[in-house]
Amino acid sequence: MTSDVALAGVVHWRRSLWNGRRCVPVLMTLDQGWLRARDRHGAEVFAAPAGQVEGRLTRLGTLLLTVGGRRYPIVGRGSDISPSPSAEQRRALDEFWAHRTPPTADGPGFLDVVFNEGAAFRTRSWRDALARAGAAVR
């Protein structure tokens, strides 16, 4: 397990497969070996050591995380009617990266950007970072 892996971003927790309003933004952070998620109001959705997190990336780009026995389908972007990230989430994200160097990567592919606003790249980045931090992801 590597505790020096750091990543943060706003992703969406797909609480309903059919209702886009229930696909809500969460600020997810991976820092010092802990994975945390906070909702639009700053309430903790989950927090666990990365080594206790399991996950799998589906063919459609959903990252299915299991934290504390509960499954969280995480997607890279919400639907057109999903709530937007809150100002508090954006501020916390800026604060997270204020004293850290963001990871470098090749970036999303052209088709991912055009058709999916880079959502698949975001979930793959999370899967890869979690694997480096010791989570059981595939």
22-64 pLDDT, tens digit each: 999 999 999 999 999 999 999 999 999 999 999 999 998 999 9
Q: Would you list the DSSP string of 49-67?
A: EGGGEEEEE-TTS-EEEEE
In a domain, 47, yes or no: yes
Whether residue 44 is contained in a domain is answered as: yes
The enclosing domain of 111 has a CATH number of 2.30.29.30
Which residues fall within 8 angstroms of residue 29, CB to CB, at 6 or more apart? 7, 8, 35, 36, 37, 96
Closest CA to 126 of 19, 39, 40, 12: 12
Whole domain around residue 32: which residue ranges?
Answer: 7-137
CA distance 16 to 1: 32
The answer to whether position 95 is within a domain reads yes
Residue 33, domain member (yes or no): yes
Q: In which element (H, E) is residue 86 found?
A: none
Q: Is residue 2 part of a domain?
A: no
Q: 1 lies in a domain?
A: no
pLDDT at position 4 is 83
Q: What are 123's two structure tokens?
A: 């979930």
Q: Is residue 97 part of a domain?
A: yes
Q: How many domains does the chain have?
A: 1
Does 16 reside within a domain? yes
pTM for the whole structure = 0.89
